[in-house]
Structure 1
Amino acid sequence: MVVKRADSARRTELAVIDAARALFLDTGYGSTTIKQIAQRAGVSQETVYKRFGSKAAVLKCVYDVTLAGDLEDKPMADRGLRGLAEEPDAAAMLAGYVRFALDFHERVGPLVSLARQAQGTEPDLKDFVRTIDGERRTGAGFFVRACASKGFVSIDPDRAADEVWLLTSFALLGDARSRGWSDDEIVDWIVASLRAEAFA
């Protein structure tokens, strides 16, 4: 019985997340209401508030599940980054990381853009955006340390992590794609830039 209740709760949560994702992307964060989310998910508004607490919290959950693909609390480093340490040289490690960042942008870039636009009126979203930026910087630091352990970093690792973080930002990747650059072109340019500045 407990398992069935847990399964039902998870299905409800995913239904709300799917409904909210569609509404946020179709009509925008500000125009979407909890009532609309509840109606689309086939649940009551009370259920949404009980499970999530606020519209900002719903957006955060949409982000988490869209990024990870599930509800598991699993570090992103375990979802694709650790394998980069097996690459034979700096260029291959950098290319793998940039492709990881491009996938990251593909999955959640539009949601992060919505959060940035709404953070002026939603203090919780301001903290959320700050957290996302911090998590990206932590990921860049993890990656650079892996590179440094193989002798691939030619400058101060903190500075190298900053450069990786900046050159794989949502804004930069989004702008490059909006100019019609292919992912291969973006990867080649960022790898060349980072190798010229910070990597052996």
Structure 2
Amino acid sequence: MERNLENVKSKRRYNSTGRLEQARQNRDAILRAAERQLGERGYASATVAAIAAEAGVSVETVYKAFGGKAGVVRALYERDLAGAGSVPAYERSDAMRERESHPRTVMREWGFLTAEVASLVTPIRLLMRAAAVTDQEMASLLADIEDERLKRMRHHARYLKDRGYLREGVSVGEATDILWVCSSAELYELLVLKRGWSLPRFAQYVTHYMTASLLPEMTQEGPAETAPA
């Protein structure tokens, strides 16, 4: 009797693991299909039925996993927001902030991360922006992610202020706005997608812009000192 119970428990663990793996595979297949369907047909013309058919799953599976087409778009955004590394970009950013002690190194690393994430996430953000003009659900989603991005940039700005890195006269609010612009889809769209800048050039530009706008000027000895009043 005890042996039979052990077999049942083992089988249940196996079945649970198998179901989780199947769900993960279905999710990945849906996102790949959605990325292609949305890229080729646009938000309005891409349908859940077409996404499901290409992914090889039922329409019900798509709705259970994502709640609908807008949910699929948000999942694509969150996937790309994590960047290209095995560790999400925001985790790498926070770990780097704690590890580095020189503000210019922090700016350089933020420039690299900004370019990495922008190269992945900008297409879906531009799709959201276009769809939001006529679709209220997408307009709400876009407003949500822009609010999340602004909060993240304020988080970075407060870090710079707390560390004493901000140039005199630059407030947390101004620093937030500058970082918000640097991480915008619009900046990447203008310089990379429309003007053909390479990703390294874009990363360098963002680094230089943040450094010049936020940090004290450098002298041969280090940051320029403020003249006494």
Question: What is the TM-score of this pair, normalised by structure 1?
Answer: 0.86
Aligned to 1:5: 19
Aligned to 1:161: 176
Matches within 5 A, 1:1-200: 1-68=15-82, 77-154=90-167, 155-177=170-192, 178-200=194-216
- Is the 1:56–1:122 contact (alpha carbons within 8 Å) kept by the matching residues of 2? no
Does the residue aligned with 2:209 lie in a helix, a strand or coil?
helix
- Is the 2:133–2:139 contact (alpha carbons within 8 Å) kept by the matching residues of 1? yes
Change (3 A) 1:85 1:69: closer
Aligned mates of 1:41, 1:180 — CA distance in 2: 33
Change (3 A) 1:16 1:189: closer
Question: What is the TM-score of this pair, normalised by structure 2?
Answer: 0.76
Change (3 A) 1:68 1:167: closer
Q: Which structure would you say has the larger Rg?
A: 2
The alpha-carbon deviation at position 76 of structure 1 amounts to: 5.1
> How far does the alpha carbon of each residue in 1:19-60 deviate from its partner, in whole angstroms, 9 at most, with x for none?
111211222222211111011011112222232222111111
- Is the 1:20–1:37 contact (alpha carbons within 8 Å) kept by the matching residues of 2? yes
Aligned mates of 1:193, 1:63 — CA distance in 2: 26
Relative contact order higher in (CA < 8 Å, ≥ 6 apart): 1
Aligned mates of 2:200, 2:77 — CA distance in 1: 26
The alpha-carbon deviation at position 13 of structure 1 amounts to: 1.6
- Is the 1:85–1:93 contact (alpha carbons within 8 Å) kept by the matching residues of 2? no
* Number of aligned positions between the proteins: 198
CA RMSD of aligned residues (A): 2.4
Name the amino acid aligned to 1:139: R
Aligned mates of 1:79, 1:6 — CA distance in 2: 27
Unpaired runs of at least 5, structure 2? 1-14, 217-229
| Stretch moving more, 178-187 or 133-142 | 178-187
